[in-house]
Amino acid sequence: MNGRILIAEDDPKQAELIRMYLQADGYAVLVTHDGRSALEAIRTRAPDLVILDWMMPAMDGLDVIRATRQSSDVPIVLLTARSDEDDLLLGLDLGADDYITKPFSPRELVARVRTMMRRRVPAAETPTEMGVGGLVVDTVRHEVRVDRRAVEVTPKEFALLVALAAQPGRAFSRPQLLEAAFGFGYEGLERTIDVHVLNLRRKLEADQSEPRYLLTVYGVGYKMAEQPA
């Protein structure tokens, strides 16, 4: 999974729609329907990101933000039917990281989530050499090596390897890999990723039918092996 997302939304249909889109993008999702349950889930389940409705029973979204910010910096996306600038600024001032006004596009929400999840890993923490076993991705020299042998890859293939090698074991969906290789907002076919992975396996793997490094995650996308098979 790409991370744990908590949805706190009192409208069951709205919550289910968001859950479906996030799970399709590879996230593990927990749903609560009131503010107190949301706060308890934040404290006990430690989600990587919270999607929080402003108006909820038991405790509203702003009170959840206030309580959460006493002990946690988890990213929070505030969902609100309010469009008044002062209301939106209040939510941000209290500690929300982003907001989306209702009605909204679920695809836009997922795109915002992807962006915020990327920000959770500071660039300075990304090593200059990454990989697993005999595979090394060197971001300083812009080189790829397998068992000390240099391998020629295209810029897009290199971008894919950097994304995968930075987080071995993490399953990336095809849209996420499109974003890593082509940039945010690229709307090309997801099949493009399959072609790039096939080419990379041809260059990196001793046996393409039994890959050691670039693994398929059925129903999701691809990941870098944590240890070579």
Q: How many whole angstroms separate alpha carbon 34 and alpha carbon 53?
A: 9
Query: 103 preceded by cis ω (within 30°)?
Result: yes
**pLDDT recorded at residue 39:** 93
**Which sign does the torsion angle of CA 207, 159, 224, 172 carry?**
negative
Q: What is the mean pLDDT of residues 185-212?
A: 82
Q: What is the mean pLDDT of residues 9-22?
A: 93
Class of domain 126-224: mainly alpha
Per-residue pLDDT reduced to its tens digit, 27-46: 989 999 999 999 999 988 88
pTM above 0.75, yes or no: no
Burial of 29 per CB tally in 10 Å (0-12, 13-18, 19+): buried
Number of Cβ within a 10 Å radius of residue 199: 15
- Asked if the model's pLDDT at residue 143 lies above 90, the reply is yes
- Asked if the model's pLDDT at residue 24 lies above 50, the reply is yes
With cut-offs at 50, 70 and 90, classify the pLDDT of residue 8.
very high
Q: How many whole angstroms separate alpha carbon 105 and alpha carbon 183?
A: 20
Say yes or no: domain 4-119 is CATH 3.40.190.80.
no
- Asked if the model's pLDDT at residue 161 lies above 90, the reply is yes
Q: What is the mean pLDDT of residues 41-60?
A: 90
Number of Cβ within a 10 Å radius of residue 161: 26
Residues ≥6 apart with Cβ < 8 Å to 213: 132, 133, 135, 204, 205, 224, 225, 228
Q: How many whole angstroms separate alpha carbon 105 and alpha carbon 181?
A: 24
Q: How many whole angstroms separate alpha carbon 217 and alpha carbon 138?
A: 25
Q: What is the mean pLDDT of residues 73-98?
A: 79
- Asked if the model's pLDDT at residue 212 lies above 50, the reply is yes
Q: How many whole angstroms separate alpha carbon 189 and alpha carbon 191?
A: 5
Q: What is the mean pLDDT of residues 147-159?
A: 87
Q: How many whole angstroms separate alpha carbon 206 and alpha carbon 46?
A: 40
SS3 16: helix
Q: Could you tell me if 192 and 154 are in contact, meaning their C-beta atoms sit under 8 angstroms apart?
A: no
**pLDDT recorded at residue 12:** 92
**pLDDT recorded at residue 84:** 67
With cut-offs at 50, 70 and 90, classify the pLDDT of residue 123.
very low
Q: Break the chain into its structural domains and give their ranges.
A: 4-119, 126-224
**pLDDT recorded at residue 124:** 46
Chain-wide mean pLDDT for the chain?
A: 85
Q: Of 8-17, 97-106, 117-126, 176-185, which range is least confident?
A: 117-126
